[in-house]
Amino acid sequence: MPIEFDQEIKRPDRPEVVVITGATAGVGRAVAHAFARRGAHIGLLARGAERLEATRREVEQLGGRAIGIPTDVADARRVESAATAVEEAFGPIDTWVNNAMTSVFAEFIDIEPDEYQRVTDVCYHGTVNGTRAALKRMLPRDRGSIVLVGSALAYRGIPLQSAYCGAKHGVQGMFDSIRAELHHRDSRVHITMVQLPAVNTPQFSWVRSKLPNRSQPVPPIFQPEVAAKAVVWAAHHRRRELFVGWPSVKAIVGNKAAPAIADRVLGESGYEDQMLDEPAGDRPDNLFEPFPGDPGTHGAFDHRSKSSSVQLAISLKRRWIMLGALGLAAVLGSMAAARR
C-alpha cells in the first residue's frame, strides 16, 4: 500500500547515512550540522578542501561522523565516485540532499555563454547527477529519501538571476517527472523538494556579479538554520513539497494567480531590491574555482535575518492543526445541535 503523506519514514536501527552536496557553506553546512546532531554519518561533497575539513570537524563535534570528498557536482563521474566512497565508509545511503548551487548576478544579455553553461551545469545537471547516483542505489533497496533544495525562484523568475532561475525551473520539471516514475514503480523511495526564501548565506559575497553595487538577498531574509530544519524534516516525512517562509508562499501563489503583474512589479523593484547602496568593487568569485578561505555558514546579513518562520512551524504541524480544527468543528456542531 502507498505510504500516506506526512507519515514518518522508518529508518533502520543504525546511524542514518546522508550525502549533502554543497555541504561547506550556507544552507548545506547548516544541514550538515542538523544531521550531525541526530548522530548521522555524512558524506560532505563540495570543491573546497579547506572548508570540507572545517565542516567535517564541526560535524564530529556535534555528534556525527563525516568524510569530506572534493567533488564538482557538474561531473557525473565524480558524483558517482563520491557516492561509492560514502557507502564504502558508512554503508547504504539513506538520504541524499542536492543543495550545491552557483549563480551570476547580471542581466541576461551580459552573461557569457560559458557562465550560463556553468550555472546550469552546477544547479541543474548537478542535481541530475546527484539524483541519479542516489536512485541507482535506493531503487534496488526500495527505500531512501532524496531532498532537492529548491527555491521560490523555481516557480517565479526574477531579474538579474536568469541562469539560476532557469536551472531551478528545470529541477522542478525533473522532480515532477521522477515523482510520476516512482509512483509507476510503486516504489517506496521518496523524493521531495524544499522551496526556500531568501537566505543569509555567503553566496552574496562570492557569486560572480556584474552589478554596480554589492548584491543582497531580497528581504525578508532567513538564517540557514531555518532552511536546514525544513530539509531534515522533509527527509523524514512524505510531504511532496515544502515551502519555507511566507515570502516563498506569496511568490509561488502570486505568480500562479497573476504572472503578468509579477513581471511589472519585479521589473520596477527587482533591481534595487537585490543591491545595497555600496559599490561592488573587485573581488574573486566561485563560478569556476572554489572561493578562498572559509566564511562559515552565515553570510553578511545576520542583523537583518530571521531565525525562525511562523509559516514553517504551521506547515510542519499542519496535520495536527487540521485534526484540531476538525475536532473543534465537531464540538461546535454538537453544541449547536444540543441548543436546537
pLDDT of residue 322: 52
Residue 313 domain flag: no
283: pLDDT confidence band, cut at 50, 70 and 90?
A: confident
Q: Which pLDDT tens digit goes with each residue over 104-125?
A: 999 999 999 999 999 999 999 9
Q: Which pLDDT tens digit goes with each residue over 29-60?
A: 999 999 999 999 999 999 999 999 999 999 99
Residue 249 domain flag: yes
CATH of the domain at 298: 3.40.50.720
Residue 19 bridge partners (DSSP)? 43, 96
Residue 41 domain flag: yes
**Lowest model confidence (mean pLDDT) among 53-62, 232-241, 310-319:** 310-319
330: pLDDT confidence band, cut at 50, 70 and 90?
A: very low
Residue 336 domain flag: no
Residue 339 domain flag: no
Residue 333 domain flag: no
Residue 173 domain flag: yes
By the 8 A CB rule, do 58 and 68 touch? Answer: no
Residue 6 domain flag: no
Residues catalogued as catalytic: 164
Task: Give the mean model confidence (pLDDT) for residues 82-93.
Answer: 98
Q: Which pLDDT tens digit goes with each residue over 165-200?
A: 999 999 999 999 999 999 999 999 999 999 999 999
Q: What is the pTM of this model?
A: 0.90
Task: Give the mean model confidence (pLDDT) for residues 308-324.
Answer: 75
By the 8 A CB rule, do 55 and 5 touch? Answer: no
Q: Which pLDDT tens digit goes with each residue over 63-79?
A: 999 999 999 999 999 99
Q: Which domain holds residue 151?
A: 17-308
Q: Which pLDDT tens digit goes with each residue over 261-281?
A: 999 999 999 999 999 999 988
317: pLDDT confidence band, cut at 50, 70 and 90?
A: confident
**Lowest model confidence (mean pLDDT) among 4-13, 30-39, 127-136, 292-301:** 4-13
Residue 279 bridge partners (DSSP)? 213
CA distance 299 to 51: 15
Domain count, the chain: 1
Phi and psi for 189 in degrees, rounded to 5?
A: -65, 135
